[in-house]
Amino acid sequence: MGAILKRELSAYFNSAIAYVAMTVIFLVSGFLFAFNCFLSNNASLSAVFGYTIYIIVFIIPIITMKSFAEERRQKSDQALLTAPVSLTSIVMGKFLAAFILYVICCSIFIVYAIVISFFTAPDWSVTLCTWLGLILFGGALIAVDIFFSVLTESTIIAAILGIAFGGLISFSSMINYAVSNVISIDFVTQLCEKLNFTSYYSDFTYGILNISDVLFFVSVAGLFIFFTVRVLEKRRWS
Amino acid sequence: MVEVTHLTKCYGDIKAVDDISFTVESGEILGFLGPNGAGKSTTMNMITGYLSSTSGTVTIDGHEILEEPKLAKSKIGYLPEIPPLYIDMTVRKYLEFMFDLKKVRLPKDEHIKEVMKLVRIEQQSERVIKHLSKGYRQRVGFAQALLGNPPVIILDEPTVGLDPNQIIEIRNLIKSLGKKHTVIFSSHVLSEVSATCDRVIVISNGKIIADAKTSELSVVSSGKQKLSLIVEGTPSTVTDAISKIPAVIKVSKGQDMGENSAKYMVEYQTDTDIRREVFYAMARNNCAILEMQSGNETLEDAFLRITNADQTKNKKKVRGVN
């Protein structure tokens, strides 16, 4: 796992992906920080955290799109699958590499909090809780997007699936509203509610560390890592 | 060292590999020969654990590949048909990664240097793989398979895309590896197999159709030797005289070569040499031998005949079913 993690991380930083991801997240959150905090004399980072989510759901598929799709296209997966390592550690290595890059991207929010602390005492408990929520949210999404990457040989398709999923979960309340105006089916409404990742995240933004929200993100991550391992396993048998 | 028993792989209704069994001893070089699509790569992918078999087992040094995959895989160095390279890495970084991935317990820098020297890519060690030519990429793939000195080395068409000099180098390398390692390598180039292997397995349509020492293959597969003659004289006299020689199985007259001479094909038993007797028999009958050629099958002929026979047999089978 260690070798794969190291290679994946260095691949991110040797290509443009890591820098693109960091630039976009830093830039967007920087703008939000400038407008919502500096220009409006506001010490709360909640708006910055809240809106950056909508960028993150599109950035994560870009980070993860290559992880398995590219390997399969280049046939380098043969090296991994014939090496004396388990499938789980292959998937975990890739997951952790993407996760570490994501944490690096999100570290900018801690910097914002520190900047605010020069002017006034920020609400550290809320800030750190929201940050934790953001990390967990990203972790779950990374696992889902890695699963999309293992399904296909094309990085483009993996990215599109990931972006579509990102759009679905972040705008599911809007979709729900639009759909329920036309036709009201309980099942669809409930599905949209459950799929709404941001609703699980919103508790964190109030500074509430709800164990069920934490469990939701952790179990989504665990489930999709498991699915990814199964897809790899299944491919050997078919 | 490597034991394959009743290995079968089905893709839907198609049997890519059909009940293959063989054993390779330690220090043996086994050539895997077959036309395209015969199931060579599929078999190799199953031996290395990249694919699972539909039925049958593969045991590497006593470890079953699906039961104890880590132990079994740690004993194999594998070069697939397309070298599994990360093209955005430098040669050295890539080999370091593969070294870590395979959990090799040897002094890292020294060992990598040693392997690079063996396949002659030290000069390229700091170059990014995507800028290397196909031949060099093949060598990097080769180097990767050798990392950790695995007891079993499996090479899927290792000389494809190399220039003649490199091919000779790689062949010599395979030969020298065969002293310490068990080597299985596939090829559809026959001269390569006959030049490097101790033993050949010919595979066609997923089945083993011949398994013999390289030197024996041509004879074993046919059970007889051949002599081709051009003789001047009456055809009946010539055929009568030759068929009186005890070891001769069959004489047949080929095309006329003009001026009372014709071509004859003589089939005779193995382990005998009838050339002298043919000469004296012809001399007694006043028939001049214009040309005499040992018509023994080359490996090439044997291969063509075996695989073609197998294919026509299969066609007949299919027709029978219909």
Residue-wise pLDDT for B124-141, tens only, equals 899 999 999 888 898 899
Containing B276, the helix (H) or strand (E) segment is helix B275-284
CB distance B150 to B77 below 8 Å: yes
Contact yes or no for B101 and A80 at CB 8 A: yes
Which of A65-79, B128-142, B287-301 is the least confident region?
Answer: B287-301
pLDDT of residue B322: 41
Residues 6+ apart with CB under 8 A from B209: B202, B203, B306, B307, B310
pLDDT: is A89 or B320 the higher one? A89
pLDDT of residue B96: 94
Contact yes or no for A79 and B70 at CB 8 A: no
Q: What is the CA radius of gyration of chain B?
A: 25
Residues 6+ apart with CB under 8 A from A82: B48, B49, B50, B73, B76, B78, B80
Burial class (CB in 10 A: 0-12, 13-18, 19+), B275: middle
Give the model confidence (pLDDT) of B221-249 as tens digits. Answer: 456 778 888 888 888 888 888 888 888 88
Contact yes or no for A84 and B73 at CB 8 A: yes
Which amino acid appears at position B221 of this protein? S
Percent above pLDDT 70 for chain B: 89
In the predicted structure, residue A233 carries a pLDDT above the cut 60 = yes
Q: Strand pairing partners for B248?
A: B268
Best of B43, B101, B102 to disrupt the A interface (most A CBs within 10 Å) is B101
Percent above pLDDT 90 for chain B: 26
Q: If you measure CA to CA, which chain A residue comes closest to B96? A: A3
In the predicted structure, residue A149 carries a pLDDT above the cut 50 = yes
d(CA B46, CA B10): 12
Q: If you measure CA to CA, which chain B residue comes closest to A13? A: B88
- The residues of B whose Cβ lies within 8 A of any Cβ of A are 11, 45, 48-52, 69-71, 73-74, 76, 78, 80, 82, 84-89, 93, 97-98, 100-103, 144
Nearest CA-CA partner of A14 in A76, A60, A66: A66
Q: How close B81 comes to chain A (CA, Å)?
A: 10
In the predicted structure, residue A223 carries a pLDDT above the cut 80 = yes
In the DSSP assignment, the letter for residue A60 is H
pLDDT of residue A197: 78
Contact yes or no for B52 and A237 at CB 8 A: yes
List of chain B residues whose C-beta atoms are within 8 Å of the C-beta of residue A86:
69-70
Reduce the secondary structure of B184-236 to three states and give it as a string. EEEECCHHHHHHHCCEEEEEECCEEEEEEECCCHHHHHHCEEEEEEEEECCHH
At B12, is the secondary structure helix, strand, or coil? Answer: coil
Contact yes or no for A75 and B84 at CB 8 A: yes
Compute the average pLDDT of residues A1-14: 91
Helices (H), A34-86: 46-64, 66-74, 77-81
Contact yes or no for B52 and A76 at CB 8 A: no
At B62, is the secondary structure helix, strand, or coil? Answer: coil
Q: If you measure CA to CA, which chain A residue comes closest to B79? A: A79
Cα–Cα distances in angstroms (integers) from residue B28 to residues A124, B2, B23, B203, B214, in the given order: 68, 10, 10, 18, 12
Best of A17, A72, A76, A82 to disrupt the B interface (most B CBs within 10 Å) is A82
List of chain A residues whose C-beta atoms are within 8 Å of the C-beta of residue B48:
82
pLDDT of residue B131: 93
List of chain A residues whose C-beta atoms are within 8 Å of the C-beta of residue B45:
78
Contact yes or no for B82 and A75 at CB 8 A: yes
In the predicted structure, residue B250 carries a pLDDT above the cut 50 = yes
Best of A78, A237, A238 to disrupt the B interface (most B CBs within 10 Å) is A78
End-to-end CA distance of chain B: 43
pLDDT of residue A158: 94
Q: How close A160 comes to chain B (CA, Å)?
A: 24
**Taking phi first (over 0 means left), then psi (-120 to 50 degrees means alpha), and beta for anything else, what does residue B160 get?**
beta
Residues 6+ apart with CB under 8 A from B129: B85, B86, B87, B88, B89, B90, B91, B94, B137, B140
List of chain B residues whose C-beta atoms are within 8 Å of the C-beta of residue A238:
11
Compute the average pLDDT of residues B74-85: 92
Place B39 in a pLDDT band, splitting at 50, 70 and 90: confident
pLDDT: is A142 or B310 the higher one? A142
Place B298 in a pLDDT band, splitting at 50, 70 and 90: low
CA angle A107, A101, A68 (to 5 degrees): 155
In the predicted structure, residue A21 carries a pLDDT above the cut 70 = yes
CB-nearest partner of B102 from A10, A15, A83: A83
Which of A195-204, B73-82, B273-282 is the least confident region?
Answer: A195-204
Q: How close B69 comes to chain A (CA, Å)?
A: 7
List of chain A residues whose C-beta atoms are within 8 Å of the C-beta of residue B103:
84-85
What angle separates helix A211-237 from helix A197-205, to the nearest 10 degrees? 140
Give the model confidence (pLDDT) of B150-191 as tens digits. Answer: 999 999 988 877 788 888 888 888 888 888 889 998 887 777
List of chain B residues whose C-beta atoms are within 8 Å of the C-beta of residue A14:
88-89
Q: If you measure CA to CA, which chain B residue comes closest to A85? A: B70
In the DSSP assignment, the letter for residue B268 is E
- The residues of A whose Cβ lies within 8 A of any Cβ of B are 2-4, 6-7, 10-11, 14-15, 74-86, 236-238
Which amino acid appears at position B85 of this protein? L
Place B114 in a pLDDT band, splitting at 50, 70 and 90: very high
Percent above pLDDT 90 for chain A: 53
Which of A66-80, A209-223, B151-165, B218-232 is the least confident region?
Answer: B218-232
Best of B41, B50, B153 to disrupt the A interface (most A CBs within 10 Å) is B50
pLDDT of residue B313: 62
pLDDT of residue A132: 92
State chain B's mean pLDDT as an integer: 84
List of chain A residues whose C-beta atoms are within 8 Å of the C-beta of residue B76:
82
Compute the average pLDDT of residues A21-33: 92
State chain A's mean pLDDT as an integer: 88
Compute the average pLDDT of residues B277-291: 89
In the predicted structure, residue A35 carries a pLDDT above the cut 60 = yes
